[in-house]
């Protein structure tokens, strides 16, 4: 199997950076710490990224590419209704939080408040990535309405935006409190919101 060392090094830097940002934040992650942890020389970093900010943009774009692939694959499962899939998506996040020592494993939650006023390029990457997530959620809502597995009032795109914002806020509050209650309340609200049609 043919390997691509340059791609591997770039991917390794982005993966390592994401892990460090989840624990340190973007400004708290020093470039020297990133290079030492990744065991990559400084020259290699600047071969791929012109600055730490450009690295941050690439890291966020990679995060959303992977995350949106996971969401698309999850919602395209054909063995459950779209109502069950949407609620299950939220339930998975809640389960992860409970099982991993109250860790919110999400760069959006970790970095949105930190970098939006520091870097316009990183803010744009966050905005574009979130818009893709909302689009997948809106598409699932439309399909759920079409298959008549769920009922909600209003426009699916606006509903998806509200549900995403609700979960993002609940995730931030859960991170602050180190308790699952904000996520549990958000899940209960989503479950109530997506009512099963009366037969």
107-115 vs 156-177: helix axis angle to the nearest 10? Answer: 90
What pLDDT score does 17 carry? 96
Would you give the distance in Å from CA 71 to the centre of its chain?
Answer: 10
For the cut 90, the answer to whether the pLDDT of residue 124 exceeds it is yes
What pLDDT score does 4 carry? 41
For the cut 50, the answer to whether the pLDDT of residue 131 exceeds it is yes
The pLDDT-based confidence of 77 (bands split at 50, 70, 90) is confident
Question: How is residue 166 written in tokens?
Answer: 């609700």
What pLDDT score does 2 carry? 41
39 — alpha (psi -120 to 50), left (phi > 0) or beta?
left
Interval 81-88 mean pLDDT: 94
The dihedral of CA 31, 32, 33, 37: what is its sign? positive
What pLDDT score does 64 carry? 95
- State how far the Cα of 122 lies from the Cα of 60, in Å rounded to an integer: 8
Which tens digits make up the pLDDT trace of 7-46?
Answer: 589 999 999 999 999 988 999 999 999 999 999 999 889 9
Q: Report the Cα–Cα distance between both ends of the chain, in Å, rounded.
A: 55
Domains of the chain: 53-193 (1.10.357.10)
Angstrom CA distances, 6 to 11, 12, 15, 41, 50, stand at 9, 10, 14, 13, 16
For the cut 60, the answer to whether the pLDDT of residue 155 exceeds it is yes
Calculate ∠ Cα 167-183-66, nearest 5°.
Answer: 50
């Amino acid at each position: 199997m043919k390997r691509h060392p340059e791609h591997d090094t770039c991917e390794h830097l982005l993966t390592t950076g994401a892990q460090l940002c989840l624990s340190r934040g973007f400004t708290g992650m020093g470039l020297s710490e990133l290079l030492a942890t990744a065991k990559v020389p400084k020259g290699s970093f600047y071969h791929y990224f012109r600055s730490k900010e450009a690295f941050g943009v690439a890291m966020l774009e990679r995060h959303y590419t992977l995350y949106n692939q996971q969401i698309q694959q999850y919602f395209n499962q054909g063995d459950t209704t779209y109502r069950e899939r949407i609620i299950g998506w939220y339930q998975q996040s809640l389960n992860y939080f409970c099982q991993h020592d109250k860790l919110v494993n999400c760069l959006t939650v970790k970095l949105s408040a930190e970098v939006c006023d520091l870097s316009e390029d990183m803010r744009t990457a966050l905005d574009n990535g979130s818009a893709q997530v909302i689009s997948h959620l809106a598409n699932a809502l439309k399909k759920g309405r079409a298959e008549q597995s769920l009922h909600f009032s209003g426009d699916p795109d606006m509903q998806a935006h509200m549900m995403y914002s609700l979960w993002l806020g609940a995730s931030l509050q859960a991170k602050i409190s180190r308790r699952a209650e904000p996520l549990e309340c958000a899940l209960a609200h989503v479950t109530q919101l997506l009512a099963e049609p009366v037969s």
